[in-house]
Amino acid sequence: MKDLQDIALDAARSAGAEYADIRISNHRTQNIRTREERVQSVSNGESFGFGVRVLVNGTWGFASSHIVDKNEIAKVTKRAVDIAKANRVIQLKPVMLAPVKSYEDTWKTPIKKDPFSVPLEEKINLLLKVNEEALNIKGASFCNSFMLIMNERKYFASTEGTYLDQDTYRIWPQFTVTAVDRDKGEFETGTSEIYPMGSGYEFVEENEMVALAPKIAEQAVEKLSAKSVDPGKKDIILDSTNLWLTIHESIGHPTELDRALGYEANYAGTSFLTVDKMGKLKLGSDIVNFAADKTIKGGLASVGYDDDGEKTKEWYLVKDGMFIDYQTTRDQVLWPEYQNARKEAGLPEVTESYGTCYGDSWSSIPFQRMPNIHLDPGKETLSPDDLIADTKDGIYITGRASYSIDQQRYNFQFSGQTFHEIKNGKITHMLKDVAYQANTKEFWNSCDAICDERFWKMGGSYYDGKGQPGQSNAVSHGCPPARFRKVNVINTGKTI
Amino acid sequence: MILNKSDSRALIDKILSMTTADEARVNLSGGRAGNTRFALNAITTSGDEDTLSITLRTAFGKRHASMSVNQTDDASLETLVEKTEEAARFAPEDSEYVPELGPQTYLPIKAFSRNTAGASARSRVKGTEAALRPARRNDLISAGFLEHDHSFSAVGNSNELFAHSESTNASFSNTIRTKDGKGSGWAGDSSRDIRKVDCGDAGKRAVWKSKHSADAQTLEPGIYPVILEPQAVADFMRFAAYAMSARTADEGRSFYSKKGGGNKLGEKVSGANITVRSQPTHPELLGFPFGGNGLPAQEIPWIENGILKNLYYDRYWAHKNNVEATGFPSNMVIEGGSGSVEDLIRGAEKAVLVTRLWYIRFVDPQTILMTGLTRDGTFLVENGKIKHAVKNFRFNESPMAVLNKVENMSKSVRVGGSLVPAMHASEFNFASLSDAV
């Protein structure tokens, strides 16, 4: 591999590039989909190719190809340099890269059981058994299940002297049960609260989907006759299975430095967390701490090194409720807006990237993507039962459902899989048609209780979109259940 | 990588000759694409990509599986055949298996432009410069994206079906913001022919919206008449079109399901002024002539004068119900009126004018209730004129509810893969305010 990579690096240098990197990668996927007693599809995929990124006179150029041989690499590298040269005529200021050490290393997702090696029959039988168990519940009409498996083998090399070989695995088993009441013309769904993980097949086994299936089916059936929520300001307790997505949308995206400075304005949007708020804005209550990393075991975004060749690390974005930092890449750290704002706020100097550069394929231009971001557990001993017992008028919400947030990440609306009314410290009954709507800053400042580390759990997304052309990033978010006071709960029931 | 008709046929025949399966299908796709991204009035990233995908689907009796690769050497193709056959043999029998189609006749659709196929980084720089000029001149901050591609798609199977198509596409969009962050405007353009994409005009339109959207005033949330510009209509109405699965409706889990069982075919689902169809030969759109399984794309009315005329049927569900398969809607054409957005504004006593929508998600599939936000140019119209900009809203609304309240429409225009008008509707539920600009 090194001899192929050196062709790109040498060709880029001799064409005048001050920096170049090449990623040669192979992406394998397996996707099994079933419904009821039927296997709808078994699809395997493999995609192999390379992408070369060059910096010429402070301007980026990129080109890629699925033909991986010496001639093509030389040709594509020249094309990347030509693109950079074409673009530099209208540039206003040069790209500056933060310093990085050189590494020669390998990294692999710690897995116990290679999911591609598990016999197909075993995976199919598991999904069909899940469907069967769900459909044994009276009132359950349909059950869809799937398993997605992904492996990315990536060889990175850069003119900084870095050569990396990384082998990443991700897996996601999931099922959804639908209960239909044809007489009333109504239907409800229940989806297993299993979220993807950077893991091997052991993650599937740990989740005991067959045992879970009847419970999810019962939830879907119960929803059909659940009471429609009375809207208003209520205390809500968000289970880890719901809160992770709220963290993703309201904390993860606004702390992307490229968004904050306008680089994503045309698509994903900008951020209400402008650099002047760093070290000054109380984003959450004193108990709210958000840490970022690309290192945690099982994290979807966890790798040894990012696509800048920077070693991954951990840092805080929000400490004791105060917004203190962003997610960065090598071409962002030296932006004067960021550096000056840190200095002005009296925050420690940051000279290296946090290592959040990622391209979702060999054909994609790498750029700043979200790391794993987690809510720290509460320091006091506190269980979800304790929280419920301490709540007079509230709703306990689990699972991921409808989610939407504006392009600066102020106003969001989230729903969930299940909703249970809490009255005077006790769960009374199931509710439906529930969504909570809030302003990010007000919401996190209304957080008055966070369960302890025993209840800390990771959720995550396989398909976080950003960029043009759109790229997908997988990312995990850990949190325990937490309570938020007086949040606006709306009723989403509607008739046409 | 572009494979022409004869190269595609040769590769498909080669793969089909290697498999021992009872039935097999090969799908090829690929192409060359280029893009340039800019922000803060300068180019940020730019790249070219060259891709190919080869998908083989094999079936032994009713057992089937598929696999995709992107390498064409003999060893890779042998692995493709071997692994696909192995997976198919392990797969249980599929009770809904439908045999491969035989040879088909396709609509003649020429969606190829030499100008787009020959575009390069230098042509993208020209387009970018044209769009940046009005922003720089007005001391505003522009971010945008210009992309073009030349792609091909081919399908062939063991029942002697073969189809090949080449197409090009080019699109541009830009968002221009005021330096104080109080104003933001968006505009875009797209065509099969990159020379017809007017980046400079899109830049000027976004400048106007940016300047006029600054210092937006608060309009209390509530139900207001609305004028949705074509981009907002395309953003919103696609959810109504894509939910038109006959099977989902028959199974009782869609808006198009009928109380007591069955679906709403033949029933009134919108105002009588609404007609929605797929029209792959429309000169402004020019869709693909075939779907992934080789089924020909065809002109299909979905809603005609408010009546639900068709739902989409895959081959299995069509066979079961003894109707013709339609495949997924190849594109969306909403029949419009004759005027412009400005004419709709002139005819409105009071309305909220919406440029585009953002982060639209299902809240309730039963009613196609969607939530999302307005973005990059939201204005209050009074007595036929834009009075002032208003702060952005979150909405909770169903496209089907809106289609029952459309009072006027402009002429339909191309927005990506759709042809849609601007719509003036009497009610739209703006549920809460957003501080986002």
DSSP A360: S
Residue ranges making up the domain that contains B83 = 5-210
* pLDDT tens digits, B317-338: 999 999 999 999 989 999 999 9
Handedness of CA B66, B69, B73, B78 (dihedral sign): negative
CB-count exposure of residue A75 (10 Å: 0-12, 13-18, 19+): middle
In the A/B pair of chains, how many CB contacts fall below 8 A? Answer: 266
Indicate yes or no: CB of A66 within 8 angstroms of CB of B42: no
* pLDDT tens digits, B73-132: 999 999 999 999 999 998 999 999 999 999 999 999 999 999 999 999 999 999 999 999
Q: Are residues B251 and B361 in the same domain?
A: yes
> Is residue A154 a contact partner of residue A179, using CB atoms and an 8 Å limit?
no
Give the Cβ contact number of residue B35 at 10 Å.
Answer: 21
How much is the pLDDT for A76? 98
Q: Which residues of B touch A41 (CB under 8 A)?
A: 65-66
What confidence category does residue A383 fall into, taking pLDDT thresholds of 50, 70 and 90?
very high
Last residue of a domain, one of B168, B190, B210: B210
Residues in a beta bridge with B361: B371
How much is the pLDDT for A494? 74
> Is residue B278 a contact partner of residue B330, using CB atoms and an 8 Å limit?
yes
How much is the pLDDT for A161? 98
Tell whether the model's pLDDT for residue B281 goes beyond 90. Answer: yes
Indicate yes or no: CB of A92 within 8 angstroms of CB of B40: yes
Tell whether the model's pLDDT for residue A496 goes beyond 80. Answer: no
Distance from CA of B103 to the nearest CA of A (A): 24
Give the helix/strand (H/E) hosting A204: helix A202-206
Distance from CA of A469 to the nearest CA of B (A): 8
Write down the mean pLDDT value for chain B: 97
How much is the pLDDT for A197? 98
Indicate yes or no: CB of B252 within 8 angstroms of CB of A187: yes
B173 contacts: CB under 8 Å, gap ≥ 6: A266, B144, B145, B186, B187, B188, B189, B202
Dist CA A167 CA A153 (whole Å): 5
Q: Which residues of B touch A469 (CB under 8 A)?
A: 33, 35, 145, 147
> Is residue A282 a contact partner of residue A253, using CB atoms and an 8 Å limit?
no
Helix (H/G/I), strand (E/B), else coil: A33: strand
For B39-47, what is the mean pLDDT? Answer: 96
Q: Are residues B280 and B298 in the same domain?
A: yes
Distances from the Cα of A404 to the Cα of A231, A299, A437, A458, angstroms: 19, 23, 10, 21
Dist CA A474 CA A460 (whole Å): 7
Percent of chain A with pLDDT over 70: 100
Percent of chain B with pLDDT over 90: 97
A71 reaches B (C-beta below 8 A)? no
User: Token digits for B269?
Assistant: 């689902």
CATH assignment at residue B11: 3.30.2290.10
Dist CA B434 CA A439 (whole Å): 8
A47 reaches B (C-beta below 8 A)? yes
Residue to mutate among A147, A188, A432, A468, with most B CBs inside 10 A, is A468
Q: Are residues B76 and B221 in the same domain?
A: no
What confidence category does residue A160 fall into, taking pLDDT thresholds of 50, 70 and 90?
very high
Indicate yes or no: CB of A42 within 8 angstroms of CB of B91: yes
Q: Which residues of A touch B377 (CB under 8 A)?
A: none
Distances from the Cα of B236 to the Cα of A485, B213, B332, B408, angstroms: 33, 22, 12, 17
Three state DSSP letters for chain B: CCCCHHHHHHHHHHHHHHCCCCEEEEEEEEEEEEEEEEECCEEEEEEEEEEEEEEEEEEECCEEEEEEECCCCHHHHHHHHHHHHHHHHHCCCCCCCCCCCCCCCCCCCCECCHHHHCCCHHHHHHHHHHHHHHHHHCCCEEEEEEEEEEEEEEEEECCCCEEEEEEEEEEEEEEEECCCCCCEEEEEEEECCHHHCCHHHHHHHHHHHHHHHCCCECCCCEEEEEEECHHHHHHHHHHHHHCCEHHHHHCCCCCCECCCCCECCCCECCCCCCCEEECCCCCCCCCCCECCCCCECCCEEEEECCEECCCECCHHHHHHCCCCCCCCCCCEEECCCCECHHHHHHCCCEEEEEEEEEEEEEEECCCCEEEEEEEEEEEEEECCEEEEEECCEEEEECHHHHHCCEEEEECCEEECCEEECCEEEEEEEEEEECCCC
Residues in a beta bridge with A209: none
Tell whether the model's pLDDT for residue A377 goes beyond 80. Answer: yes
Indicate yes or no: CB of A468 within 8 angstroms of CB of B84: no
Q: Are residues B33 and B72 in the same domain?
A: yes
Dist CA A98 CA A309 (whole Å): 12
A208 contacts: CB under 8 Å, gap ≥ 6: none
Residues in a beta bridge with A373: A292
Give the Cβ contact number of residue B284 at 10 Å.
Answer: 14
Tell whether the model's pLDDT for residue B352 goes beyond 80. Answer: yes
Q: Are residues B254 and B233 in the same domain?
A: yes
Number of domains in chain B: 2
Q: Are residues B143 and B251 in the same domain?
A: no
For B411-435, what is the mean pLDDT? Answer: 96
Note which residues in 340-399 of chain A have CB less than 8 A from chain B.
Answer: 363, 365, 367
Q: Are residues B171 and B233 in the same domain?
A: no
How much is the pLDDT for B215? 87
* pLDDT tens digits, A217-245: 999 999 999 999 999 999 999 999 999 99
DSSP A349: P
What confidence category does residue B21 fall into, taking pLDDT thresholds of 50, 70 and 90?
very high
How much is the pLDDT for A306? 98
Indicate yes or no: CB of A44 within 8 angstroms of CB of B83: yes
Q: Are residues B325 and B279 in the same domain?
A: yes
Residue to mutate among B27, B50, B123, B398, with most A CBs inside 10 A, is B50
Indicate yes or no: CB of B94 within 8 angstroms of CB of A404: no
- Identify which of A42, A178, A406 has the shortest CB distance to residue B392: A406
> Is residue A394 a contact partner of residue A428, using CB atoms and an 8 Å limit?
no
A300 contacts: CB under 8 Å, gap ≥ 6: A170, A196, A197, A198, A372, A460, A461, A462, A474, A475, A476
Residue holding tokens 């995929």? A45
What confidence category does residue B292 fall into, taking pLDDT thresholds of 50, 70 and 90?
very high
Indicate yes or no: CB of B359 within 8 angstroms of CB of A93: no
Q: Which residues of A touch B88 (CB under 8 A)?
A: 42
Helix (H/G/I), strand (E/B), else coil: A198: coil
Residues in a beta bridge with B39: B42
What is the full DSSP assignment across A124-143?
HHHHHHHHHHHHTSTT--EE
Tell whether the model's pLDDT for residue A180 goes beyond 80. Answer: yes
For A408-436, what is the mean pLDDT? Answer: 97
Dist CA A281 CA A440 (whole Å): 12
Indicate yes or no: CB of B67 within 8 angstroms of CB of A46: yes
Last residue of a domain, one of B180, B210, B240: B210
* ipTM at complex level: 0.95
Distance from CA of B338 to the nearest CA of A (A): 29
Tell whether the model's pLDDT for residue A205 goes beyond 90. Answer: yes
Distance from CA of B73 to the nearest CA of A (A): 10
Dist CA B12 CA B6 (whole Å): 10
Q: Which residues of B touch A126 (CB under 8 A)?
A: none
Last residue of a domain, one of B181, B210, B239: B210
DSSP A287: T
Query: Domains of chain A (ranges plus CATH)?
Result: 2-225 (3.30.2290.10), 232-491 (no CATH)
Q: Which residues of A touch B145 (CB under 8 A)?
A: 266-267, 468-469
Nearest to A256 by CA among A264, A245, A246: A264
What confidence category does residue B288 fall into, taking pLDDT thresholds of 50, 70 and 90?
confident
Three state DSSP letters for A219-256: HHHHHHCCEECCCEEEEEEECHHHHHHHHHHHHHCCCE
Dist CA B279 CA B416 (whole Å): 14
For A432-453, what is the mean pLDDT? Answer: 97
Write down the mean pLDDT value for chain A: 97
Give the helix/strand (H/E) hosting A181: strand A163-181
Span of A230-234, A261-265, A487-491, B282-286 with lowest mean pLDDT: B282-286
Tell whether the model's pLDDT for residue A17 goes beyond 80. Answer: yes
What confidence category does residue B206 fall into, taking pLDDT thresholds of 50, 70 and 90?
very high
Nearest to A325 by CA among A303, A349, A307, A309: A349
Indicate yes or no: CB of A187 within 8 angstroms of CB of B253: yes
Q: Are residues B194 and B224 in the same domain?
A: no
User: Token digits for A222?
Assistant: 């119960």
> Is residue A414 a contact partner of residue A402, using CB atoms and an 8 Å limit?
yes
Tell whether the model's pLDDT for residue A31 goes beyond 90. Answer: yes
Q: Which residues of B touch A63 (CB under 8 A)?
A: 47-49
How much is the pLDDT for A495? 73
DSSP β-ladder status, B23-39 and A447-450: unpaired
How much is the pLDDT for A468? 97
User: Token digits for A305?
Assistant: 């090194």
What confidence category does residue B287 fall into, taking pLDDT thresholds of 50, 70 and 90?
confident
CB-count exposure of residue A154 (10 Å: 0-12, 13-18, 19+): buried
Indicate yes or no: CB of A413 within 8 angstroms of CB of B371: yes
What confidence category does residue A167 fall into, taking pLDDT thresholds of 50, 70 and 90?
very high
> Is residue B312 a contact partner of residue B295, using CB atoms and an 8 Å limit?
no
CA end-to-end span of chain B:
41
Q: Are residues B124 and B222 in the same domain?
A: no
Phi first, then psi, for residue A214 (nearest 5°) are: -60, -35
Q: Are residues B78 and B188 in the same domain?
A: yes
Q: Are residues B202 and B282 in the same domain?
A: no
Nearest to B375 by CA among B390, B396, B361, B397: B390
